[in-house]
A and B are shown apart, each in its own frame.
Chain A
Amino acid sequence: MTTAVTILPSQQLAALNDTYRKAVARKRLRFTIATAIFFAALVVAAIGAEVNLRTFFTYFGNFVSYFDRIFTLENGARVWTDVGEWFWGWHKWSLLLGETILISYVGTLSGAALAFALNFLAAENTAPAPWLRIATKRLMEFCRTVPDIVFALIFVIAFGLGPMAGVLAITIHCVGALGKQYSEIVENIDMKPVEGVRSTGASWISCMRFAVLPQVAAGFASYTLLRFEINVRGASVMGFVGAGGIGQELVVAVRKFYYSDVSAILLMIVVTVFVIDIGTGWIRGRLFGRDRHG
């Protein structure tokens, strides 16, 4: 079957083509300029970061062979041929991993508690006074912009070496990160229940407890679980600066070239992160499932 395609007269076509080309040309020009600026920035960055492709290509073999080495035992055999020898320190490492998870747990919970106390002050619709809201927001911003490991470095000096510094660092970071997410949830609630409770003459605290909290509890729990998962990852490197957990062992193994230990510890960390990931996912599913069914 054939269909006739009508072709417009040539003057009309020329005019249409002209406007089309103009429109496209402007877009292309903008795109080209943006790309050029981007590449210029990349080149400047490459010079700034001392990128040296020659070293990269000379030593790239090292990167591959590094993975080869960390999967080789002292006697030259592959690690999986002798699992007992590979995971010789599993008892010590599991205890340290437990400590890592505990650091993350305690840090997340205390951070969540503080964020919970602060977030109603930071949310636009529940803040009792504008100056209080701005002050709280700035405080949270500060807590989350300074990386947790910097806090850990300072706390190690103030509180001494050990997991306490790690817990406090995670707590502070958590206050900033969770406080922001919590207050965003609170800003999205339905305000009618709040008006209802306020019309009965309730105080600000009663309004929060009976009108806001029931709406936001599930969201809060979900974000807290997500943060816990992120913090397990963060706590695994706290040991790098002496703030407890598995990181200490890992950094020693890497620096002293105990190759098979590196792979064993890394594997344990990755598996732990997976398990926590799946576990919190399951709990989140349960929580939301329960809420949906009332």
Chain B
Amino acid sequence: MTKLPMPDFESLHARHPDVFDRPVSARLATPAMLLGAFGVFVFGLVDLDFSPSRFLSGLHQLGWITLMMIPPDPGSSLLAYLVALGETLSIALLGTTIAAVFALPVALLAAKNIVPSNIFRFPVRRFLDSIRGVDTLIWALVWINVVGLGPFAGVLAIAVSDFGAFGKLFSEAIEAADSKQVEGVRASGGNALHEIRFGLMPQVLPVIAGQVLYFIESNTRSATIIGIVGAGGIGLQLAEQIRVLEWQKVSFLILMILVAVAAIDWISGKLRFAIIGRRAVA
């Protein structure tokens, strides 16, 4: 067996000084950051009243709760739960559609290639950002004050909070559109509206449709929880059953939510594929 010659450390050292002699600050930066992050974590645990005994007794409780959840059983209210689930799906579909319809014109105003002036675009963007900064549940609370308890408040809450998200996403889609087609329409004598309708919309609509479908899916999830504050749907039933400790019904409701979300997921996946496929053909 041949032996490799011993490396010449001196010359290696001279050739790669930055590998062998990193400054102390650079060498300590990562451990210091990790230590800082861990310090804040420990402070958080102390500040938020974490204690091992509380954690263990809680886990014990949680174990009991899980045992009591088996088997899932709707009791005599299966029909009511199905109606509530239908309500949740309706909230998601309507809320997302309303948001998309209102967000499209606003997104045009927030897109750089439609409105070049920064003075006008900036407030629109900040407005959309502040709508997005407020959680759907908070919007639900506000709408309950306005239209009363019930699923309608939920629809409006989803519509408003999605409006902010869609405004941003749509305007990004519009900014990413190819400007050549718009120029083509302009060259053949089209006015600004024609440019948007025939140059821009055919490019952005499939993207937008995909995003809307994705949001219907994720809003099914949000719509399940806005019931907790009283805005209708299956969340109302879920919060109620948790409060009265009917664990079998709780687990049944959670299963229903899981199945519904999986079903919507599958359908919207198929539809998204169909839309993108159609764009590829057309």
A residues with CB within 8 A of B? 27, 41-42, 44-52, 55-56, 59-60, 62-63, 66, 99, 102-103, 105-106, 109-110, 142, 145-147, 149-150, 153-155, 157-160, 162-164, 167, 233-234, 236-237, 240-241, 244, 250-251, 254-255, 266, 269-270, 273-274
Contacts and interface: CB of A to CB of B under 8 A. Distances in A.
A162 B47 CA distance: 11
B112 interface: no
A126 to B, nearest CB: 24
Contact of A50 (B59, B133, B150): B150
Interface in B7-49: 37, 40-41, 43-45, 47-49
B239 interface: yes
Nearest to A110: B41
A41 B143 CA distance: 24
Interface of B: 37, 40-41, 43-45, 47-50, 54-55, 58-59, 61-62, 65, 86-87, 89-91, 93-94, 97, 129-130, 133-135, 137-138, 141-143, 145-148, 150-152, 154-156, 221-222, 224-225, 228-229, 232, 235, 238-239, 242, 245, 250, 254, 257-258, 261-262, 282
B135 A233 contact: yes
A2 B30 CA distance: 71
A242 to B, nearest CB: 11
A154 B232 contact: no
A27 B282 contact: yes
B45 A106 contact: yes
A146 B94 contact: no
A149 B48 contact: no
Contact of B94 (A49, A55, A150, A163): A49
A158 B250 CA distance: 14
A158 B148 contact: no
A270 B141 contact: no
A155 B54 contact: no
A278 to B, nearest CB: 11
Contact of A237 (B40, B55, B135, B148): B135
A145 B257 CA distance: 8
A56 B143 CA distance: 10
A146 B150 contact: no
A102 B48 contact: yes
A51 B254 contact: no
For chain A, what secondary structure do more than half of its interface residues adopt (helix, strand, loop), or is it mixed? helix
Contacts of A150: 224-225, 235, 238, 254
Nearest to B63: A158
Given A27-B282, A158-B58, A269-B133, A42 B97 contact: yes
A273 B152 contact: no
A63 B86 CA distance: 27
A102 B44 contact: yes
A254 to B, nearest CB: 5
Contacts of B142: 63, 66, 254
A147 B224 contact: yes
Contacts of A167: 48, 50
Given A105-B40, A153-B242, A250-B138, 20 more contacts: A49-B151, A51-B94, A60-B146, A62-B145, A99-B47, A103-B48, A106-B45, A145-B262, A150-B235, A153-B228, A153-B238, A153-B239, A158-B58, A158-B59, A236-B138, A237-B137, A254-B141, A266-B138, A269-B138, A274-B133
Nearest to A262: B142
A288 B239 CA distance: 43
B61 A159 contact: yes
A245 to B, nearest CB: 10
Given A42-B93, A146-B254, A157-B65, A270 B47 contact: no
A148 to B, nearest CB: 9
Given A27-B282, A164-B49, A145 B147 contact: no
A274 B129 CA distance: 8
B258 A142 contact: yes
A51 B58 contact: no
B220 to A, nearest CB: 10
